[in-house]
Every structure is written in C-alpha cells, then in structure tokens.
A and B are shown apart, each in its own frame.
Chain A
Amino acid sequence: MLEISIFTILTLFMLGGSIAMIINRQTLFSAFGFLVAMIGLAGMFALLDSRFLALAQIMVSVGAVVVLSMLTILTINAKRENLPYEPNKYKWIAVSSLLVLPIAILIYQSTTALYQSFSTMEPVSSKVVGKLLFSQWVLPFEIVSILLLTAMVGAIVIARKDKDNTEKEKEQL
C-alpha cells in the first residue's frame, strides 16, 4: 500500500517534470522541470532497492548535470528575442507523439513478455556495488574514468575563448 502510493507520487513527479520540460518556452523553466524529473527518478531507484544508485543519481545527475546546465543557461543569458521562435510547437509535438506511440508500445510489450515478477533481492548497498565494481566490472570502470578525463579536456578545449572570439565579443558588446 505504501509502496504503491509512493510509486504514484514519484510517477507524477517524473511525468509532470518531463512534460513541463518539453513544453515550456523559457529555457530555465524547462531546466526546473528536468530537475524535478531527475529527483523523481532517484526516488524510483530507491524504490527498486538500488540505494547506492539513488544516491549516485542525486549527486551526479541532479547535483552536477542539472546544476551545470542551469549555470550555462544563465551564463548565456539569452534575451527573450534571441530565444527561438517556435510557431508550430504543439503541432510538432502532436505529430511526433503519434509517431512515437508504436515505439513505446513495442518497448513495453517486449519487456513485459520477458519478465513478469520481481524476485527477492537484498538491497544494493555500497558494499555490494563496491565488490562488483572492482571484480567483475573493473574494466568498464577504468575505461569510464579515462572517458571522464577525455571529456574534461575536450570540454575545456571547446569552450575556451580564443583570441578572435574575444575580439568579436568585445566588438559586439
């Protein structure tokens, strides 16, 4: 009983947040919707006995990703006129949701055909994760760390101000 009600609340969070995200005109409000959705997702992870995952989700996905995107949005600080003008937004959304329907049904049908019930499992704590991470999944772990390093370097390279750009910005301002 409790589980179901929590599940319902969390579902509302997620669905509401994501729909708000794709509909809103102002970028920051979309980001807020995204935030809500991610928090809901974290709750879902906890409901699925993956406690460590829930924590990681909050820390990374909410704390880093969403914050970073909000930071970028605010840095760019686009005026209302510079935001894209989307006249047929709802038409597009309607058409694409119609097209997306079979895909959703396909995913749902194919997964439910496979598994019908949960099995009992001890909740996944950091101990379990740590054990797996350094024995069975050590190679992906290492590779992901290299990936993070590369991403860091790449982000800095892409986003740095080179001399021409600085001149142009100074002119525009």
Chain B
Amino acid sequence: MTPELFFLLASVLFSIGLVGLVSRRNLFVLYMSIELMLSSVNLLLATFSKVLGDASGSVIALLMIAVIAAEAALFLAMIVHIYRKNRTVDSDTFNKLREEVENA
C-alpha cells in the first residue's frame, strides 16, 4: 500500500471532474463534477494525513466536508431559482454577457 496509488487515484478523479465540468451542459452534472473535484482533494488530504502521521489532515478534510455541504445548499437553491425563471437547466442558454458582434 504505497501512497502512490492514492495519489494516482486522486489525480484521476480530479481530471474526471474537470472533464465533466467542461463537457456537459446540464447544470446538475456541472454541480456534481465540482463536488467530485472537491472530494478528490479530500482524498489527497487524508492520504497526506496518513503519510505524515498527523491527524490534522483529517480534521481539515472534515471541515472541508462542512463547506461542501454549505455550497451544496446554495448551488441547488440557485438551480431552483434559475429553473423557475428560464424553464431549462441548459447552461448554454445563459449567454447574455457575450460580445455583441455587428457583422461588418
């Protein structure tokens, strides 16, 4: 059981989360990819905790979980709000901040 495996797993999870963040339009999938990325960081923290023999790593990960919960609440509330207004969960429909180009 070397730490390398855990490190590898953490980086793979992170990259999967990143791929999901960029590729999907569905707001829920977007949210869950972000969660995945945060969780991979948690895994990394726990591994470091075991490597260094210090329990502080776990404590930090615990606090991170609390933050994750808070963020979940807000994110989902926003999705509900947005759905009420626009009747869609497609992130590509929200492009009001784009550059208006007159076709010269």
Type the 1/0 row for B76-89, where 1 means its CB is closer than 8 Å to any CB of A.
11111101110111
B81 vs chain A, min Cβ distance (A)? 5
Count of residues in A whose CB is under 8 Å from the partner chain: 88
Assembled-state Cα–Cα distance A75/B43 (Å): 31
Once A and B bind, how many residue pairs between them come within 8 Å at the CB atom?
257
A13 vs chain B, min Cβ distance (A)? 11
Which residues 13-43 of B sit at the A interface, judged by CB distance below 8 A?
A: 13-20, 22-26, 28-29, 31-33, 35-36, 39, 42-43
Check: A9 CB closer than 8 A to any chain B CB: no
Check: B104 CB closer than 8 A to any chain A CB: no
B6 cross-chain contacts in A, Cβ below 8 A: 44, 48
Assembled-state Cα–Cα distance A101/B14 (Å): 11
Q: Please tell me which one of the listed residues A72, A107, A132, A150 contacts residue B11 in the complex, with CB atoms under 8 A apart.
A: A107
Q: Please tell me which one of the listed residues A83, A92, A112, A133 contacts residue B3 in the complex, with CB atoms under 8 A apart.
A: A112
Top 6 A-B pairs, shortest CB-CB distance = A22-B20, A151-B70, A84-B90, A159-B77, A92-B23, A155-B77
Q: Which residues of B does A touch, CB under 8 Å?
A: 1-20, 22-26, 28-29, 31-33, 35-36, 39, 42-44, 46-53, 55-63, 65-74, 76-81, 83-85, 87-92
Q: Which residues of A does B touch, CB under 8 Å?
A: 3-4, 7, 11, 14-15, 18-19, 21-22, 27, 30-31, 34, 37-38, 41, 44-45, 48-50, 52-53, 56-57, 60-61, 64-65, 68-69, 72-73, 75-76, 78, 82-86, 89, 92-93, 96-97, 100-101, 103-105, 107-108, 111-112, 115-121, 124, 128-129, 132-133, 136-137, 140-141, 144, 147-148, 150-152, 154-156, 158-159, 161, 165, 168-169, 172
